[in-house]
Amino acid sequence: MLLLNSNPITSLLLFLSITTLTFADVQIVALPNSCSSYPKYDNSTGIAGPWAVYSVANTPNSTIDGLRVSAETFTDDGVNVWGLTTLPKFPTYWSPNITLRCANSTLQALVVPVTSTSPNQTTWFPLGISTIENWQASLALSLPPSIPAQPYAHTTNGTRLPGTYLGVKGSTTWFFKYNFGGNAGEYYLVRWGGGYDGLVEGGRKMKRQDDGGFPQLDDRDWTGWLRVGEE
């Protein structure tokens, strides 16, 4: 399996496309942090969506290109629920694909929480990048403190590429960190890859940043982007 580090990234395999672009030709443009920047925006409600989110690999022949983001939820007390997004090789009933929307300028994920007694008991959870050091900049659900994910466009030669991409602080790079969960199967943890400057907790630098950063990517991992798409 081939892994390309984010600096430099030599090529992009556009979502389900045979067109290959050099990374140097792709510019990242921050969009207004408003629901109107997302597809399927309804001006009468101020809500955009729903839509799915897919991985876009920036490595040719990647096995993760076009996979749909899923989530797992947890509870410590049977009441409060939080979760982490994953990229499973195959969706499962315990880690189903998630649907997203934007409401009140905030991304939300529709998930069946672990506390539900029926698969029809869904809840919208706020989606953000966790600043808690143990979660290593994971794209998480209801896990404060966190930084809200924001909309970006990708352009090349002055022309906007299809889709809206998720990112924060001027970076739309994501790390897909391989994890083997035993009976939970094989999946990738979704982590923001734009660096950890500014990801603070209580106004201090995170300990793991002082220790040299979070775990390094290896040949089982991938880098890429997250693209909003139709379900």
- How far, in Å, CA of 11 to CA of 101, rounded? 30
pLDDT score at 39:
93
pLDDT at 83: 82
For residue 2, the model assigns a pLDDT of 32
CA–CA distance, 24 with 7 (Å, rounded to integer) = 11
pLDDT at residue 35, as a whole number? 96
pTM for the full predicted model: 0.78
Boundaries of every domain in the chain: 12-229
Q: Is 164 exposed, middle or buried (0-12, 13-18, 19+ CB in 10 A)?
A: buried
CB burial of 20-33 (b: ≥16 within 10 Å; e: otherwise) equals ebeeeebeeeeeee
Phi-psi label, residue 147: left if phi above 0, alpha if psi -120 to 50, beta otherwise: beta
What is the pLDDT at residue 120? 73
Q: Are residues 65 and 55 in contact, defined by beta-carbon separation less than 8 angstroms?
A: yes
Q: Render each residue's pLDDT in the chain as its tens digit; 231 residues.
A: 333 333 323 223 333 332 345 456 678 999 999 999 999 999 999 999 999 888 887 766 677 788 888 887 778 776 788 888 888 766 565 567 889 999 998 999 988 777 776 667 788 999 999 887 777 788 988 877 888 999 999 998 889 988 899 999 888 988 888 876 655 567 888 888 876 655 654 444 444 444 445 566 766 777 888 999 865
Q: What is the pLDDT of residue 211?
A: 47
pLDDT value for 231: 59
CA–CA gap between residue 213 and residue 223 (Å, rounded): 17
